[in-house]
Amino acid sequence: MRDVSVLDVLLYGAPIGTLTLVQGDRTLFAFNQAYIDDPDRPTLSLSFKDQFGGLITDIRPTQTVVPPFFSNLLPEGPLRTYLAQQAGVNAKREFFLLCVLGRDLPGALTVRPADGDAGTAEPDQAERARRANVLRFSLAGVQLKFSAVKSDRRNNGLTIPAAGVGGSWIVKLPSARFGRVPENEFSMMTLAARLGMDVPEVQLVDIDSIEGLPEGIGRLDGPALAVRRFDRTAAGPVHMEDFAQVFGVFPDDKYEKASYRLIAGVLGVETGDDGAAEFIRRLVYNTLIGNADMHLKNCSLLYPDRRTAQLAPAYDFVSTVPYIADENAALKYARTRRMAEFTMDELAYLAAKARLPERLVLDTAAATVDAFRTLWTGEKAHLPLSRETVGAIDRHIDSLPLARA
**Residue 293 bears catalytic tag:** yes
Band (136; pLDDT cuts 50, 70, 90): very low
The yes-or-no verdict on residue 135 having pLDDT over 50 is no
Of 66-70, 168-172, 225-229, which range is least confident? 168-172
Nearest to 104 by CA among 61, 42, 167: 167
**Residue 137 in contact with residue 131, Cβ under 8 Å?**
no
**Cα separation of 191 and 172, whole Å?**
19
With cut-offs at 50, 70 and 90, classify the pLDDT of residue 81. Answer: confident
How much is the pLDDT for 116?
55
Cα of first residue to Cα of last residue in the chain, in angstroms, is 58
CATH 1.10.1070, applies to 238-404: yes
> Quick one: pLDDT at residue 368?
98
Query: How high is the pLDDT of residue 117?
Result: 56
- Helix/strand/coil for 122: coil
> Is the Cβ–Cβ distance between 314 and 198 less than 8 Å?
yes
Signed CA dihedral, 42, 47, 51, 55: sign only: negative
* β 169-172/210-211 pair status: unpaired
Q: Which of 117, 293, 326, 345 is catalytic?
A: 293
Q: Which residues of 194-233 are buried (b: 16+ CB within 10 A; e: fewer)?
A: ebebbbbebbebebebbebbeeeeeebebbbbbbebbbbe
Range of weakest confidence among 67-76, 77-86, 191-200, 308-317: 77-86
DSSP letter (8 states) at residue 294: -
Please calculate the CA angle 299-202-286 and round it to the nearest 5 degrees.
40
Residue 209 · residue 152 · CB < 8 Å: no
Judge contact between 142 and 77, C-beta under 8 A: yes
Band of the pLDDT at 144, cuts 50, 70, 90? low
Residue 122 confidence class, pLDDT cut points 50, 70, 90: very low
Residue type, 236: G
Over residues 206-231, the mean pLDDT reads: 81
Q: 196 in the Ramachandran plot: left (φ > 0), alpha (ψ -120 to 50) or beta?
A: left
